[in-house]
Amino acid sequence: MTSATPIAAEVPVLRDFGGGPFGIYVHVPFCATRCGYCDFNTYTAGELGTSASPQSWLAGLRGELVEAARVFDTLPSPTPEVSTVFVGGGTPSLLGGDGLAAVLDAVRAQFRLAADAEVTTESNPESTSLEFFARIRAAGYTRVSLGMQSAAAHVLAVLDRTHTPGRAVAAAREARAAGFDHVNLDLIYGTPGERDSDLDASLDAVLDAGVDHVSAYSLIVEDGTALARRVRRGELPAPDDDVLAARYERIDARLTAAGLTWYEVSNWAAGDTARCRHNLGYWDGGDWLGAGPGAHSHLGGVRWWNVKHPARYAERVAAGGLPVADWEALTDTDRYLERIMLAVRLRTGLPLGDLDQAGRAAAEQVVADGRAVIAGERLVLTDHGRLLADGVVRDLLG
Structural domain includes residue 292: no
User: Cis bond leading into 90, ω under 30°?
Assistant: yes
Q: Which amino acid, one-letter code, is at 210?
A: G
- 3-state DSSP call for residue 387? helix
pLDDT digits (tens, 9 = 90+) for 172-195: 999 999 999 999 999 999 999 999
Q: Which amino acid, one-letter code, is at 208?
A: D
Between helix 196-209 and helix 241-257 the angle, nearest 10°, is 30
pLDDT digits (tens, 9 = 90+) for 344-362: 999 999 999 999 999 999 9
Rounded to the nearest 10°, the torsion over CA 124, 125, 126, 127 is: 60
Structural domain includes residue 215: yes
Rounded to the nearest 10°, the torsion over CA 373, 376, 379, 380 is: -60
Residue 237 sits in the same domain as residue 368: no
Give the global pTM. 0.94
For position 71, what pLDDT does the model report?
Answer: 87
Residue 244 sits in the same domain as residue 335: no
Structural domain includes residue 5: no
Residue 59 sits in the same domain as residue 168: yes
For position 3, what pLDDT does the model report?
Answer: 41
Residue 367 sits in the same domain as residue 275: no
Output the furthest CA–CA distance in the chain (Å, rounded). Answer: 59
Residue 256 sits in the same domain as residue 126: yes
Residue 273 sits in the same domain as residue 353: no
d(CA 171, CA 149): 14
For position 18, what pLDDT does the model report?
Answer: 65
Upper half-sphere CA count for residue 186 (Cβ side, 13 Å): 18
Please state the domain count of the chain: 2
Rounded to the nearest 10°, the torsion over CA 225, 227, 230, 232 is: -70
Structural domain includes residue 7: no
Structural domain includes residue 251: yes
Q: What is the CA radius of gyration of the chain?
A: 21
- 3-state DSSP call for residue 378? strand
Phi then psi for 21, rounded to 5 degrees? Answer: -60, 145
Residue ending a domain, among 256, 284, 312, is 284
For position 30, what pLDDT does the model report?
Answer: 92
DSSP string, 334-358: HHHHHHHHHHTTBTT-EEGGGS-HH
Residue 244 sits in the same domain as residue 363: no
For position 16, what pLDDT does the model report?
Answer: 64
Q: Where are the alpha helices (DSSP H) in the chain?
A: 6-9, 45-48, 54-72, 96-110, 130-139, 153-159, 167-177, 196-209, 226-232, 241-257, 277-283, 310-318, 332-343, 357-368, 383-387, 389-397
Residue 178 sits in the same domain as residue 55: yes
d(CA 202, CA 165): 9
Residue 205 sits in the same domain as residue 351: no
Residue ending a domain, among 219, 253, 284, is 284
Residue 241 sits in the same domain as residue 362: no
For position 13, what pLDDT does the model report?
Answer: 56
d(CA 83, CA 93): 22
Domain that holds residue 347: 331-397
Residue 242 sits in the same domain as residue 113: yes
Q: Which of 190, 206, 219 is nearest to 269 (CA)?
A: 206
Residue 45, exposed/middle/buried by CB under 10 A (0-12, 13-18, 19+)?
middle
Question: Could you give the angle at the alpha carbon of 197 between the alpha carbons of 193 and 199, nearest 5°?
Answer: 75
For position 7, what pLDDT does the model report?
Answer: 55
Structural domain includes residue 320: no
For position 197, what pLDDT does the model report?
Answer: 97
Residue ending a domain, among 268, 284, 300, is 284
CA distance to 108, 165, 172, 191, 198, per residue, from 162 (Å): 33, 9, 17, 16, 18
CA distance to 119, 121, 288, per residue, from 84 (Å): 6, 11, 9
CATH of the domain at 211: 3.20.20.70
pLDDT digits (tens, 9 = 90+) for 240-257: 999 999 999 999 999 999
Structural domain includes residue 54: yes
Q: Strand 372-374's sheet: what is its strand order?
A: 350-351, 378-381, 372-374
Pairing state between β 287-291 and 113-123: unpaired
Those residues with Cβ within 8 angstroms of residue 94's Cβ, 6 or more apart along the chain or in another chain: 28, 30, 31, 32, 54, 124, 127
Residue 267 sits in the same domain as residue 377: no
- 3-state DSSP call for residue 54? helix
Structural domain includes residue 11: no
Low-confidence ranges of the chain (pLDDT < 50): 1-6, 8-12
Q: If you count them, how many residues does the chain have?
A: 398
Q: How far apart are the first and last CA of the chain?
A: 33
